[in-house]
Structure 1
């Protein structure tokens, strides 16, 4: 228990992290609203969070390059995340103070997943860990967190959202204090060179990839920032909203579980087309209805709009030259899943304040544009989809 095997350490740490993330992602906008923050400022604050995580993953994360540094780094950033979550309860609820704690929190929060994934990959490469099985516990914890906090907040009010997230981070921090057996030790005496990001940004095929995945994943910005507010305004309690978010993650997990059976032999172009069509249908439905049957369909489509696009993106990265893989992974997490969603979240806040649910039609248009972008994809077909097993982790 106090010196767990790699599977126990990684799966339990991810459970604490994703429990907290299952609270943060669906309900933080509701907490901001409960502090009297306007919809436009909620969008700005959520966008600042995404942008800060982007900067952290481009600047801070790559500097922790030795495997021996991963465990101390995870302990410190988990401790810092716990402190800065708690700080939300202590500051004055004005935009400047909320923006300050948002930046501090996301600077520490942003690197948690790439660093814990790096730790997992260290053990995977040594045959000590099945990443998919370990990662599954994080998915389950996300569902538990998003379901539980909705019920708790409906009983005790908006501040219960912060307290519940804090409980998840404290759990992750306590679990991180244990030493896995064996400890992560690098087999190399010198650090690997840092990936050359700038050179990739001059490659037209990489730019098309980043634009395409940005359109698909960026279309989720209004959903991340305002779906909970939208559904609450339609009369649904926090508990129901939590169940709806959990349903979306269940859809994603099931799609990952069966993706090898369903998608082997499909080209990346086909996967991106399926996901783009899903974007058009999902956000068009979101703008059109708040009926229960419609909401269930909308959330079941999360596997199509997020997971299939993620599968295709990971496969694109894996099929690129080995020298480009690390840099592409960094760009994927920092730009489409970070900076662009940050920008679109801010835009969505402005749009939601002006047009309400009609802002989701703008998200649907992004799927239409994505249909017309063609990648210079590898000729080989997808053969190992099961490697793409991660939730929204940016």
Structure 2
């Protein structure tokens, strides 16, 4: 990495930001279960955070592109996320928790799309090395998921909100350590009109539809995997370990992503990611009681998130100009939120009525539909 690149500052922020995801994805549903909410109520509470992901990134993305003050938005969002979530100490009623989930998520989902633009602005011509910075987010996820998994083996889940608040404080601190950067001007996009006009291109529409379907399929995984594994007899420490294994596979993928993108087109990388994910959901829904199968399924997270996310970030960067990067990344996050919210909702109701196997099977069908969109709409381009 060149000396001018603030590698560790950028990496440090990703570490803290995704440590929060590592603390929420595996344990938030368990915490709500500890509070004795039903599966349907759990699905609704988690869906609220994802619904905010549908709205917030677009609002903040437009503001970031209009003002150019993306880093200020990142810092403001981090601080407000902390303040909003701290309201969880006031009450544990369903209505109050719904408000806390909505408010903190509105600010939390403002942060990452803007930070992705800042990171790519620092990288400039070295954009293929994005994954080498982003992998520290995956390491942060692993540290959180393993550490909290071990912690909750010995402590009650009553300590969960305090752990979340401490991680949010770390995000705030790291956001003030990062220097600002602006995307470079790209003349090839100068005459392509407004952001909304570019969205009418079939390739762009197809990409964003496939993103929604991928995140829809992730609904059962992020909402009920921990509950599913606990019902199969796995200890909480082991559950944290299985989450960490998936992210470890993601880290390995990130280390080789630059070489992968140099050899294969974005279309092929995305298509392979979708097909592998379809197989993964079938394995988790039907054979997760076999440890070897569960390990294989978690290693497939390298495709479900790793190659899918890295290829998606590159696709957005290539598809929009410098004054539209924030909106492009924000729409990627927002449509992922739409899919994630619908996935959390359907999995909450499906889990209660159809069970785990059919819930994951429906997820597999959704991601296969996304693969069909990728195959149909995206052009085959040179790596």
TMscore range, shorter length: 0.7 to 0.9
Further displaced range: 66-75 or 32-41? 66-75
CA distance in 2, matches of 1:16, 1:312: 22
User: 1:118 Cα deviation (Å)?
Assistant: 3.0
TM-score by length of 2: 0.86
Unaligned runs of 5+ in 1: 383-394
Instruction: Say if 1:177 and 1:98 are closer, same or farther in 2 by CA, change over 3 A.
Output: same
Q: Does 1:348 align with 2:347?
A: yes
1:105 maps onto 2:130 in alignment? no
Is the aligned partner of 1:380 residue 2:377? no
The answer to whether the 8 A contact 2:18-2:137 is kept is: yes
| Per-residue CA distance 1:137-194 (angstroms, 9 max, x = gap) | 22211110111111112211213332222111112223334574xx658999xxx99x
Whether 1:151 aligns to 2:150 is: yes
What residue number does 1:41 align with? 41
> 2: distance between equivalents of 1:126 and 1:265?
18
Q: How does 1:347-366 map to 2 (within 5 A)?
A: 347-358=346-357, 359-366=359-366
Residue correspondences, number: 372
Partner Cα separation in structure 1 for residue 154 and residue 64 of structure 2? 42
1:101-155: CA deviation from partner (whole Å, max 9, x where unpaired): 001110111112123223333433498xx64443332221111011111111221
Partner of 1:207: 205
Match of 1:120 in 2: 119
More helix by share: 2
> Would you say the 8 A contact 1:19–1:165 is kept in 2?
no
Question: After superposition, where does 1:1-394 map in structure 2 within 5 Å?
Answer: 6-65=6-65, 69-91=69-91, 93-125=92-124, 131-178=130-177, 180=179, 196-262=194-260, 264-289=262-287, 290-320=289-319, 322=321, 326=325, 327-335=327-335, 337-358=336-357, 359-373=359-373, 374-382=375-383
For the 8 Å contact 2:73–2:110, the answer to whether it is kept is no
2:372 aligned counterpart, secondary structure: coil
- Contact 1:213 1:309 (8 Å CA) reproduced: no
Shift of 1:323: 7.7
d(CA) in 1 for partners of 2:226, 2:116: 29
- What SS does structure 2 have at the residue aligned with 1:110? helix
Judge which range, 17-26 or 367-376, deviates more.
Answer: 367-376
Question: Structure 1 residues 5, 380: closer, same or farther in 2, change over 3 A?
Answer: closer
Matches of 1:224 and 1:236, distance apart in 2 = 17
- Using structure 1 for the length normalisation, give the TM-score: 0.83
Return the alpha-carbon distance in structure 2 between the equivalents of residues 320 and 185 of structure 1.
17
Give the Cα–Cα distance (whole angstroms) in 2 for the partners of residues 325 and 185 of structure 1: 12
| SS at 2:89 equivalent | coil
What RMSD in Å do the two structures reach over aligned CA positions? 3.2
Deviation at 1:262, TM superposition (A): 4.4
1:186-225 deviation line (CA, Å, top 9, x unaligned) = 999xxx99x8454345444433222223223321111011
Is the CA contact (8 Å cut-off) linking 1:276 and 1:368 kept in structure 2? yes
Residue 18 to residue 59, structure 1, CA distance change in 2 (3 Å) = same
The CA deviation at 1:357 is 0.9
Following superposition, the deviation at residue 278 of structure 1 comes to 1.2
Q: What is the CA–CA distance in structure 2 between the aligned matches of 1:379 and 1:234, rounded to whole Å? A: 43
User: Structure 1, residues 335-386: CA drift from partner, whole Å, max 9, x if none?
Assistant: 1x1112111211111111112212111111123333433344344222xxxx
CA distance in 1, matches of 2:177, 2:77: 15
Hey, what's the Cα distance between the residues in 2 that align with 1:309 and 1:316?
A: 10
SS in 1 for 2:319: coil
Quote the offset at 1:296 in angstroms.
0.6
CA distance in 1, matches of 2:73, 2:261: 37
Contact preservation (8 Å) 2:65, 2:324? no
Any stretches of 5+ residues in structure 2 without a counterpart?
none
Measured in 1, the distance between the counterparts of 2:311 and 2:279 equals 19
With over 3 angstroms needed to count, the CA separation of the structure-2 counterparts of 1:209 and 1:278, relative to structure 1, is same
After TM superposition, the runs of 4+ consecutive aligned structure 1 residues lying more than 6 A away are 185-188
State the 1:34 CA deviation. Answer: 1.2
Deviation of 1:226 after TM superposition, in Å, equals 0.6
